Structure 1
């Protein structure tokens, strides 16, 4: 269902951009705004800006921009209604449904919500199964055996799938859920060769509910408890519209608050590792659920902390095989530490073996930075073999090259040199070789792509950089002045917007979104509203909001210290709005006339080629010369000696 306008207005009024973004990305103040590395693309230095004063965000790297609602839509990958519900829950606002929604709007909303509903139904079904005779004897018995308390079982929505072909399917069908929906959610399967035969995916297994960041069930992991070698120990939900394995981490919903508070995230491998650590009082822990760590999972952790501590089972061979994950974490701009458990132990078994206090102390005492960890892992192996020692040095340098922050990299160069018994210059030289190779590879890749690109692909770009492209830039500049300064006075009795609109009344913007904003501005004036930027930021058209944010935000701010401390004074466009606006109008008119001259010139050529009557050619030449005279007059006012 849709959401009432009253609810939407309450959310817009209450939602604070700093609070909303801080739920996902740690912000740091610089100048008037707050900054962070963009959560939407990889970058080494922060280009993601949040303006508390304007209640907007803007990334100067990838171009993402919007208000608190748009941010939730972008980062959660949800629609407008879901974003409103998310923020309403955050701020304790009661959601009122809109009873006047169209059938199409209701259907669009239900398509995604229906998956959450049926997955929630399955979670409840599995949880209730723990109270059946079979569930108590097998599922609940297993959880109690592992020391899981009732509160932990409830916290993680642990359950049991009954041992039978269609227990969930039959119950879901009886309660009105369709086969199509159950199949889309990955809860049932079709028999190969006989699509009419449907059966449960999860049978005779304990279940682990996988939640999204908001706490909704999106999938399941399930463990078999018998010694059936024909069956895999664990099976998981397939990819669906709401569950993407590479984008989620098990336990992130239960851990996100603690990760932010502790400013550290423990990374483990399995479901039971996460749960056992919660039992030990350590809640800032997530699991990759047996899959290789992905770039998106690293980004997910980075929303809450820049620090990751990877916990490894006491198996040297397995650790070496998974070291690629550390390099990916470094490349993602996070700080990495590692803890290795005694041989034969994992976080789950060791926590149960030593108890909460000793387990926590072990993590504190044995956490080591990734350089010490990596070198220590190979120490015995390379001690008497120069070739292996050289390979280890290359491995270490390769990891150092992944660190984006030059200061952090320099610190680790010193530590690596000390542990390896080398001069820092040797490690720095090897690093320089890697960086030089990366630059060369990037250069040649770019050249190859240029050569492989068909010539025709460049034609639209050429056109864009021609007269039409320049005109678009000038339209944008005039609109920027209108939105940013339209409400200011250019003289004692004239606003900037009045002056701009009077001088350009006969012009029409060629760029559709600019014309749309211009029309909205004129409509506001017609309704006795003198619009400021906030007027457009409240507009429901996302294209308008995004473009206005681009018009009112700047990547760089001039430090106030220039004037207050150093008495260095600079000219500002707002200091003389009359001249700024006047010059902008002249430049826009010049570009429009230049475009008209180009069209007139083309018509003259056509008249000559088609050998039209002399009077037609003379008339077209006269139009061109009149336009040329206008151009000369404008150039004089702009101080341009030679027209071009």
Structure 2
């Protein structure tokens, strides 16, 4: 179905980019804009910038940029239409969709189709739980035994699957969903013999939501005793579900995580649900997987503070130690909590109640140094070698922290806990850091040389792996043996991406037009009029900049001067690059410090007419100078190529060359450029 243009306009006008992005990332105000660590690439220092005035975002690290619709498309990896539907739902805008043509249906994004069929399955499981005798008698009874209330069941979209071979498949087929789509969503299983059946049968269902609240997978628990069936069964990985990148409960928890500036991390579905019902809503689970880097980065979007809740048995301690370094490596502030032996978050909150649980968390949460040191000191006793091993182990965790100031502060804490000299701790941390750096360099060299040898290898020669083995047998480091290999190929690739000097000047000209085209440099003369008159019959050589220049010319002929909004609001399918360039050219990376403004320290701004006029004047001169230099180079090449030319032809080329030489010299004089020879 297609969304009418009038509805698209309403959705865009209603969408506030701060509200939209805040659903996925915690933004902090800086000047007139907002910043955050970019959700599209891993970074420790914020380079993601949101401009509420222009309703755009821009990351100065990875280059991602756009408006609210583009952000939803990028963060959810969905198409334009699905992003509009997401925003329409968020802002309660009703969509009366139009029929799509067969060609438009063929272009339907597979991801969008999977999300639609997974939502159907969620609704089917909910209705089975609440409206069928089997669902109420088995599934709902189980949830009631766990103490889950109706609002909690609704908040987490809990459900039940019939204990039948193909109940979901039959209902899905009846509603028009193909078996192929149901199978791609992980809802049914096809066997080689042709038998097809539901994946989930006779289980209570825990839908797994992404950050925006869309159902992307299911966890399911069997309720009857069956040694041939696993207790928990999860959806397989699909186009929309990658378990290492998902946290159970993140959709329900994200607002509270942001408000309270801390996230509690558990291991199970019922842990999350029970704590949520007890009023601890800033809690998520790793969905039955070992903690991953992607899951940690998902938490970091909303808070830098995480407390991990583990069972108090030996397995819980082992799990805590295993995930500790990964959290520190991502720059988060970590605390750990071991519950009493034999308890998990679900059982303990039911046992002691919500308030007592919160008090226990507050009183028993430990930073990672106290946690690790406690484990080592209990094991070491009076053994000095064990104590030294423990100190080295804690220092190894500190080296994972990217912030050197934090490392310095924590070294003091280690010295206090183990009762040793602080300088000894610092020396050990530095030793481990050097060791890590050496290993990283060695690994990088080995990888580069392996790639180089792979590229240069011919049939019959040993493979890179075989060469590594041969060198190892001879006691030689293969990375060192090939250390003189050239890396010119990567350098040449970089050179291909380098922007020419003229392209930089064309970009600057377009930037001035977009930002200040309507400004008058003198009474009656706008910057747009000045630039277009000076560049009469000159086209830009960089495609997107030339297209923008052409659009300015076309509008000016009709008496209009385009602004940034005209480019940002263009919605033609071929205008993505123009929108992206416009965001790049209208988003400043730095702002004047509020302290300078408060103390009335004047900083010259290009918005001042004198500065703006000079910038436009010098930009036009540089463009003309570079074009003159290009033409002189071409004429020199012509002279070299026409050895049999007549004297008249040679004189004509020389005359033209001298003309451009005089132009070049005069522009250099105006720019104050020193000219040699």
Structure 2 length as normaliser, TM-score?
Answer: 0.87
SS of residue in 2 equivalent to 1:333:
coil
Alignment partner, residue 349 of structure 1? 347
CA distances 1:137-185 after superposition (whole Å, capped 9, x unpaired): 5433333332333433333222232333323223322333211111111
Return the alpha-carbon distance in structure 2 between the equivalents of residues 379 and 463 of structure 1. 57
Alignment partner, residue 259 of structure 1? 257
Alignment partner, residue 658 of structure 2? 625
Alignment partner, residue 126 of structure 2? 127
Contact 2:169 2:188 (8 Å CA) reproduced: yes
Alignment partner, residue 401 of structure 1? 399
CA distances 1:603-632 after superposition (whole Å, capped 9, x unpaired): 322223xx4555444443443333223212
Alignment partner, residue 557 of structure 1? 591
Return the alpha-carbon distance in structure 2 between the equivalents of residues 30 and 346 of structure 1. 41
Is 1:543 the counterpart of 2:543? The answer is: no
CA distances 1:364-419 after superposition (whole Å, capped 9, x unpaired): 22222222222223331123333332232222222223333444444433322211
Residues 348 and 383 from structure 1, CA distance in 2 versus in 1: closer, same or farther, beyond 3 angstroms? same
Return the alpha-carbon distance in structure 2 between the equivalents of residues 580 and 203 of structure 1. 71
Residues 562 and 529 from structure 1, CA distance in 2 versus in 1: closer, same or farther, beyond 3 angstroms? same
Residues 102 and 588 from structure 1, CA distance in 2 versus in 1: closer, same or farther, beyond 3 angstroms? farther
Superposition pairs of residues 160-199 of structure 1, within 5 angstroms: 160-191=160-191, 193-194=192-193, 196-199=194-197
Is 1:533 the counterpart of 2:560? The answer is: no
TM-superposed CA distance for 1:270, in Å, is 1.0
Aligned CA-pair RMSD: 2.7
Return the alpha-carbon distance in structure 1 between the equivalents of residues 50 and 294 of structure 2. 22
Alignment partner, residue 362 of structure 1? 360
Return the alpha-carbon distance in structure 2 between the equivalents of residues 556 and 147 of structure 1. 52
TM-superposed CA distance for 1:461, in Å, is 4.1
Is 1:590 the counterpart of 2:588? The answer is: no
Return the alpha-carbon distance in structure 1 between the equivalents of residues 171 and 595 of structure 2. 69
Instruction: Between 351-360 and 442-451, report the one with greater CA deviation.
Output: 442-451
CA distances 1:69-91 after superposition (whole Å, capped 9, x unpaired): 22222222222222222222222
Return the alpha-carbon distance in structure 2 between the equivalents of residues 290 and 353 of structure 1. 23
Instruction: Between 266-275 and 209-218, report the one with greater CA deviation.
Output: 209-218
Instruction: Between 33-42 and 145-154, report the one with greater CA deviation.
Output: 145-154
Residues 407 and 125 from structure 1, CA distance in 2 versus in 1: closer, same or farther, beyond 3 angstroms? same
SS of residue in 1 equivalent to 2:75:
helix
TM-superposed CA distance for 1:439, in Å, is 5.1
TM-superposed CA distance for 1:460, in Å, is 5.3
Residues 594 and 435 from structure 1, CA distance in 2 versus in 1: closer, same or farther, beyond 3 angstroms? farther
Superposition pairs of residues 381-530 of structure 1, within 5 angstroms: 381-437=379-435, 452=452, 455-459=488-492, 461-462=494-495, 465=498, 469-530=500-561
Alignment partner, residue 325 of structure 1? 323
Q: Structure 2: which 5+ residue stretches go unaligned?
A: 453-485
Q: Structure 1: which 5+ residue stretches go unaligned?
A: none
Return the alpha-carbon distance in structure 2 between the equivalents of residues 312 and 518 of structure 1. 61
Contact 1:463 1:469 (8 Å CA) reproduced: no
TM-superposed CA distance for 1:457, in Å, is 5.0
Residues 271 and 559 from structure 1, CA distance in 2 versus in 1: closer, same or farther, beyond 3 angstroms? closer
Contact 1:33 1:51 (8 Å CA) reproduced: yes
TM-superposed CA distance for 1:441, in Å, is 5.5
Alignment partner, residue 48 of structure 1? 48
Residues 126 and 568 from structure 1, CA distance in 2 versus in 1: closer, same or farther, beyond 3 angstroms? closer
TM-superposed CA distance for 1:46, in Å, is 1.7
TM-superposed CA distance for 1:361, in Å, is 2.3
Alignment partner, residue 599 of structure 1? 634
Contact 1:274 1:287 (8 Å CA) reproduced: yes
Return the alpha-carbon distance in structure 1 between the equivalents of residues 225 and 619 of structure 2. 79
Instruction: Between 450-459 and 15-24, report the one with greater CA deviation.
Output: 450-459
Instruction: Between 478-487 and 530-539, report the one with greater CA deviation.
Output: 530-539
Is 1:639 the counterpart of 2:672? The answer is: yes
Contact 1:26 1:304 (8 Å CA) reproduced: yes
Alignment partner, residue 66 of structure 1? 66
Residues 366 and 463 from structure 1, CA distance in 2 versus in 1: closer, same or farther, beyond 3 angstroms? closer
Contact 1:258 1:284 (8 Å CA) reproduced: yes
Within the candidate set 210, 221, 240, 2:208 is matched to: 210
Return the alpha-carbon distance in structure 2 between the equivalents of residues 275 and 571 of structure 1. 54
TM-superposed CA distance for 1:502, in Å, is 0.7
Return the alpha-carbon distance in structure 1 between the equivalents of residues 171 and 50 of structure 2. 48
Return the alpha-carbon distance in structure 2 between the equivalents of residues 400 and 248 of structure 1. 27
Alignment partner, residue 339 of structure 1? 337
Within the candidate set 615, 626, 636, 1:580 is matched to: 615
Alignment partner, residue 75 of structure 1? 75
Return the alpha-carbon distance in structure 1 between the equivalents of residues 111 and 390 of structure 2. 50
Contact 2:221 2:231 (8 Å CA) reproduced: yes
TM-superposed CA distance for 1:546, in Å, is 1.4
CA distances 1:576-596 after superposition (whole Å, capped 9, x unpaired): 222221111111111122222
Contact 2:257 2:302 (8 Å CA) reproduced: yes
CA distances 1:298-342 after superposition (whole Å, capped 9, x unpaired): 222222222211100112344224434232222223222211111
Return the alpha-carbon distance in structure 2 between the equivalents of residues 490 and 308 of structure 1. 54
| Number of aligned residue pairs | 637
SS of residue in 1 equivalent to 2:339:
strand
Is 1:148 the counterpart of 2:182? The answer is: no
Return the alpha-carbon distance in structure 1 between the equivalents of residues 166 and 18 of structure 2. 48
Structure number with greater CO (CA < 8 Å, separation at least 6) is 1
Is 1:10 the counterpart of 2:10? The answer is: yes
Contact 2:79 2:109 (8 Å CA) reproduced: no
TM-superposed CA distance for 1:264, in Å, is 1.8
SS of residue in 2 equivalent to 1:87:
helix
Contact 2:320 2:336 (8 Å CA) reproduced: no
Contact 2:208 2:248 (8 Å CA) reproduced: yes
Return the alpha-carbon distance in structure 2 between the equivalents of residues 357 and 564 of structure 1. 46
Residues 491 and 438 from structure 1, CA distance in 2 versus in 1: closer, same or farther, beyond 3 angstroms? farther
Residues 442 and 619 from structure 1, CA distance in 2 versus in 1: closer, same or farther, beyond 3 angstroms? farther
Contact 2:37 2:301 (8 Å CA) reproduced: no
Contact 2:24 2:211 (8 Å CA) reproduced: no
Return the alpha-carbon distance in structure 1 between the equivalents of residues 434 and 631 of structure 2. 49
